[in-house]
């Protein structure tokens, strides 16, 4: 196994967990945070804090790394292309570009006949008005770029809907996607990994519950018919192959009232709904990312035990710097606490997660709900 230095663009909790795996596997890791304080800084071998348009930071980064990956997708496209001209970057720049722009993402899915919600692309109040007339019923308007965890979105129900001119004030000067709102029976996600040699493996789909557009719980295995789970994995594999992707990608699905799977969005990196793999699978999504990036064979995705992952948000904290009492979690058999080392807690900020493994999904969920009720 060659000793390499891995460069990571971004410095949040995903970079922290990647750094933990890199240390275990003997790799050096250089984290370029883009100017933010980093949850990974105590684990990376080197941290670069300059902004992503800082030429000095870019030169220092390129001088130290052998191969590059991303910790989140909203990296300037120009920077990714510049790095790709000098160092191998996985996933490739074109794949990241598709996943960081909802317009490109929707058109990619449509071009490859991958099911998604009915949508229109708009860039003016007049085009929004036309889209509303074509997509009957409730819709959601989303910025084409830079939206996550419900940010950059505006719900427009059919009842008491503002005028198109009024609604468009939220998106003035930008392009947006108008999606028909789906009457959901559930949401799932599939983490799929593709290696440099084209090998593709996928994890068991996770059944996801959200609160305020932020992931609350992931339940694995998902409580759905086997045929639906297999179809989700097949679609996720198709996404990775058509993107010529290398690394871990999260594919999120809506399930409508007819049981149809609709791809909601793709994340070109390890994903929140894959954190359970750290404790419940033979190979975690972060180890898989490292394996793919450095060209190693991919690991087994086998689920060792049913598991529930609970996201810990800053709202649980007693104050910005005072953690809750974790005794209810730590005294629960099968529970593992993961904290991200962030300096202060804020409302809706992801501060950590808990995984609870058990002999059945029902037992894992019961234990998780008991822990949640303690806070």
What are the DSSP calls for 69-107, one per residue?
A: EESSS-S-HHHHHHHHTTS-BSS-HHHHHHHTBHHHHHH
The candidate with the shortest Cα–Cα distance to 202, out of 117, 281, 114, is: 281
Q: Give the containing element (helix H, strand E) for 238.
A: helix 226-242
Distance separating alpha carbons of residues 354 and 341, to the nearest angstrom: 14
pLDDT above 90: residue 86: yes
pLDDT band with cut points at 50, 70 and 90 for residue 160: confident
Q: Which residues share a beta bridge with 69?
A: 8
Distance separating alpha carbons of residues 65 and 204, to the nearest angstrom: 33
pLDDT band with cut points at 50, 70 and 90 for residue 213: confident
Distance separating alpha carbons of residues 264 and 109, to the nearest angstrom: 10
The confidence score (pLDDT) of residue 172 equals 83
Find how far residue 117's CA is from the centre of its chain: 19
pLDDT above 60: residue 150: no
Of the two residues 169 and 145, the one the predictor is more confident about is 169
The confidence score (pLDDT) of residue 239 equals 98
pLDDT band with cut points at 50, 70 and 90 for residue 363: very high
**Rounded average pLDDT over 189-200:** 98
Q: Of 124-128, 165-169, 275-279, which one has max mean pLDDT?
A: 275-279
Domains of the chain: 5-89 (3.40.50.20), 118-180 (3.30.1490.20), 184-372 (3.30.470.20)
Instruction: Give the dihedral of Cα atoms 344, 345, 346, 348; nearest 10 deg.
Output: 140
pLDDT above 70: residue 358: yes
The confidence score (pLDDT) of residue 138 equals 93
Strand order in the sheet with 46-51: 46-51, 28-34, 5-9, 67-70
pLDDT tens by residue, 25-38:
999 999 999 986 66
pLDDT tens by residue, 323-347:
999 999 999 999 999 999 888 899 9
Q: Are strands 139-143 and 119-122 parallel, antiparallel or unpaired?
A: unpaired
The confidence score (pLDDT) of residue 360 equals 98
**Rounded average pLDDT over 129-144:** 92
Local structure of residue 9 (DSSP, 8 states): E
The confidence score (pLDDT) of residue 38 equals 62
Of the two residues 40 and 232, the one the predictor is more confident about is 232
pLDDT above 90: residue 11: no
Local structure of residue 203 (DSSP, 8 states): P
pLDDT above 80: residue 147: no
The confidence score (pLDDT) of residue 35 equals 82
For residues 14 and 71, is the Cβ–Cβ distance under 8 A? yes
């Amino acid at each position: 196994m060659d000793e390499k230095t891995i460069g990571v663009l971004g410095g949040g909790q995903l970079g922290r967990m990647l750094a933990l795996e890199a240390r275990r596997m003997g790799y050096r890791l250089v984290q370029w945070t883009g100017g933010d304080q980093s949850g990974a800084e105590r684990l990376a071998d080197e941290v670069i804090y300059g902004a992503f348009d800082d030429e000095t930071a870019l030169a220092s980064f390129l001088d130290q790394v052998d191969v590059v990956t991303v910790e989140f997708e909203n990296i300037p496209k120009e920077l990714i292309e510049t790095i790709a001209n000098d160092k191998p970057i996985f996933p490739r720049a074109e794949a990241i570009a598709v996943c960081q722009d909802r317009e490109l993402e929707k058109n990619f899915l449509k071009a490859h006949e991958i099911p998604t919600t009915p949508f229109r692309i708009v860039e003016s109040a007049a085009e929004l008005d036309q889209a509303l007339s074509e997509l009957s019923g409730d819709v959601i308007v989303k910025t084409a770029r830079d939206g996550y965890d419900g940010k950059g979105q505006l719900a427009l129900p059919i009842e008491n809907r503002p005028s198109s001119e009024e609604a468009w004030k939220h998106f003035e000067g930008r392009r947006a996607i108008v999606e028909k709102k789906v009457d959901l029976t559930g949401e799932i996600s599939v983490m799929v990994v593709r290696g440099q040699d084209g090998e593709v493996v996928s994890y068991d789909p996770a059944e996801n519950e959200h609160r305020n557009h932020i992931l609350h719980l992931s339940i694995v295995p998902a409580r759905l018919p086997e045929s639906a789970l297999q179809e989700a994995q097949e679609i996720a594999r198709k996404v990775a192959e058509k993107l010529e992707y290398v690394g871990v990608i999260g594919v999120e699905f809506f399930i409508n009232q007819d049981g149809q799977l609709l791809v909601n969005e793709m994340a070109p990196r390890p994903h929140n709904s894959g954190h359970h793999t750290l404790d419940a699978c033979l190979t975690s999504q972060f180890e898989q990312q490292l394996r793919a990036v450095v060209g190693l064979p991919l690991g087994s995705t086998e689920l060792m035990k049913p598991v529930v992952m609970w996201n810990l948000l800053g709202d649980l904290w007693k104050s910005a710097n005072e953690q809750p009492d974790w005794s209810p979690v730590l005294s629960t058999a099968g529970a593992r606490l993961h904290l991200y080392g962030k300096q202060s807690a804020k409302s809706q900020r992801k501060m950590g997660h808990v995984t609870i493994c058990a002999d059945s999904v029902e037992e894992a969920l019961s234990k998780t709900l008991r822990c949640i009720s303690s806070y």
